[in-house]
Amino acid sequence: MIVGIPKEIKNNESRVGMTPAGVFELVKNNHTVCVQSNAGEGSGFFNSDYKQAGAVILDTIDQVYAMSEMIVKVKEPIAEEYDLIQEGQIVFTYFHFASSETLTKAMIKQKAICIAYETVEDKDGSLPLLTPMSEVAGRMAIQQGAKYLEKPVKGRGVLLGGVPGVAPGKVLVLGAGVVGIQAAKMAAGLGAHVTIMDINMKRLRYVNDVMPPHVVTEFSNEFNIRKHIKTHDLIIGGVLLKGAKAPNLITKDMLKEMRPGTVIVDVAVDQGGCVETTRPTTHEDPIYIIDDVVHYSVANMPGAVPYTSTMALTNVTLPYALKLANLGWKAACDKDETLRKGLNIIEGKVVYEEIIEAFGWEEVFK
Ligand SMILES: NC(=O)c1ccc[n+]([C@@H]2O[C@H](COP(=O)([O-])OP(=O)(O)OC[C@H]3O[C@@H](n4cnc5c(N)ncnc54)[C@H](O)[C@@H]3O)[C@@H](O)[C@H]2O)c1
């Protein structure tokens, strides 16, 4: 198969769909990989690295789309790319169709085979191609939170680890899922006192088993949250209700209960956030302050660490890309139930129920 790796052209996206190691694997399996010139530069991979791994370097994005039977990328195609996508071409990337009717209609029109990273789903309901980005965001949440706790950026002026003779900072983590556990682990590593809350007792039992004693679990309810926000310096929002808006666990009136300079990093911002006052921000302008509480709510946190994020993403996407290239999409999806869940649009037909529901299209498709 001819596999194409275009340069991401979405604003501020420095990740790339495949590393030189991935190219090497595909070439070893007798496939041709066309990489757009400088596609990997933002992630620290250069044309020479790709060439050495066996890639063909093409000058333009048009050439990559025109040559390839399968496109492997990171973000959903943006308007400039729509017409480059060809009938029957496999596009393997994050799509998040339910959040864009325009994109969905464009992909229906192009009659491509759209396989979405975010809906590739294991038997146990976990989402293996989303997990690494949650891991990155969870760990990064503490790095960012620690930075914004500093006084010059309006934080409380607390050093998370404390020093001998001074108590460490306190971190409250809402949600003990992928984001929450990674955040708790990083905070604990810095020596902070950590409280982690969830409504899922299985998760809390797991955290209680694997974390050190200065990570304390507590059941998530309004009473407990109201109690802890008064004394914690950094609050991490990592809750998720699958397919729904995140619940507002911290309402606007609760900000007044917090001490000035408290920092909230609401990682769940991409699902509306679990804090009522959360609105999406960017890496250029990541924070804003309401009632003396610093809000950090960047919607694409992993984008700031493209080297790590590209490697983490491609580690999990490559086995599927390889399967698609080796077998073709039909046989690959027939054989692999997890990958089959990734099929969203096949040659103009939406096959992922939630997309049809999201746009109220049931009638049209009956
Ligand atoms: N901002 C970013 O750049 C970025 C990056 C990656 C992920 N995310 C987002 O972070 C969020 C968390 O992702 P995840 O992978 O950790 O999800 P996850 O499903 O692994 O974990 C979510 C946890 O929230 C818990 N939860 C649900 N309701 C709760 C409540 N009322 N109180 C406490 N906990 C509750 C669930 O039981 C679950 O354990 C998602 O919205 C995801 O999209 C954002």
Residue tagged active-site, from 49, 96, 228, 291: 96
For residue 363, the model assigns a pLDDT of 54
pLDDT tens for the chain, residues 1 to 366: 999 999 999 888 899 999 999 999 999 999 999 999 999 999 999 999 999 999 999 999 999 999 999 999 999 999 999 999 999 999 999 998 988 899 999 999 999 999 999 999 999 999 999 999 999 999 999 999 999 999 999 999 999 999 999 999 999 999 999 999 999 999 999 999 999 999 999 999 999 999 999 999 999 999 999 999 999 999 999 998 876 678 999 999 999 999 999 999 999 998 889 999 999 999 999 999 999 999 999 989 999 999 999 999 999 999 999 999 999 999 999 999 999 999 999 999 999 988 888 888 875 554
* Of 362, 336, 292, 359, the residue nearest 115 (C-alpha): 336
> Apex CA 305: angle with CA 304 and CA 308, to 5°?
160
For residue 7, the model assigns a pLDDT of 98
- CA dist 52 and 73 (Å) reads 20
Q: Using CB atoms within 10 Å of the CB of residue 349, give its burial: 0 to 12 exposed, 13 to 18 middle, 19+ buried.
A: exposed
Report in angstroms the alpha-carbon separations of 214 from 120, 143, 205, 208, 234. 36, 19, 15, 10, 15
237 CA → ligand 1 middle, Å: 8
Which tokens hold the place of 215?
């990570």
- CA dist 55 and 41 (Å) reads 15
For residue 366, the model assigns a pLDDT of 45
* 270 a catalytic residue: yes
Residue tagged active-site, from 232, 233, 270, 295: 270
| DSSP designation for 250 | B
138 CA → ligand 1 middle, Å: 10
155 CA → ligand 1 middle, Å: 25
Give the bridge partners for 57, in sequence order. 35
Atom of ligand 1 nearest to the CA of 181: 16
* Closest residue to atom 24 of ligand 1, CA basis: 239
How many residues comprise the chain? 366
For residue 27, the model assigns a pLDDT of 98
> Apex CA 96: angle with CA 139 and CA 177, to 5°?
30
Which tokens hold the place of 280?
């999406």
Q: Please tell me whether residue 336 adopts helix, strand or coil conformation.
A: coil
For residue 281, the model assigns a pLDDT of 94
Atom of ligand 1 nearest to the CA of 133: 6
- 183: Cα within 13 Å, side-chain hemisphere: 36
Residue 274's CB is within 10 A of a number of other CB atoms, namely 27
Atom of ligand 1 nearest to the CA of 249: 31
Pairing of strands 215-219, 113-116: unpaired
Q: Please tell me whether residue 315 adopts helix, strand or coil conformation.
A: helix
For residue 365, the model assigns a pLDDT of 53
Could you tell me the strand order of the sheet in which 32-36 lies? Answer: 56-58, 32-36, 2-5, 70-72, 90-93, 113-116, 343-346, 349-350
Q: Are 176 and 197 in contact (CB under 8 A)?
A: yes
* Closest residue to atom 42 of ligand 1, CA basis: 268
- CA dist 76 and 92 (Å) reads 9
30 CA → ligand 1 middle, Å: 40
* Closest residue to atom 6 of ligand 1, CA basis: 134
Residues ≥6 apart with Cβ < 8 Å to 324 = 1, 70, 90, 92, 115, 332, 339
Atom of ligand 1 nearest to the CA of 240: 22
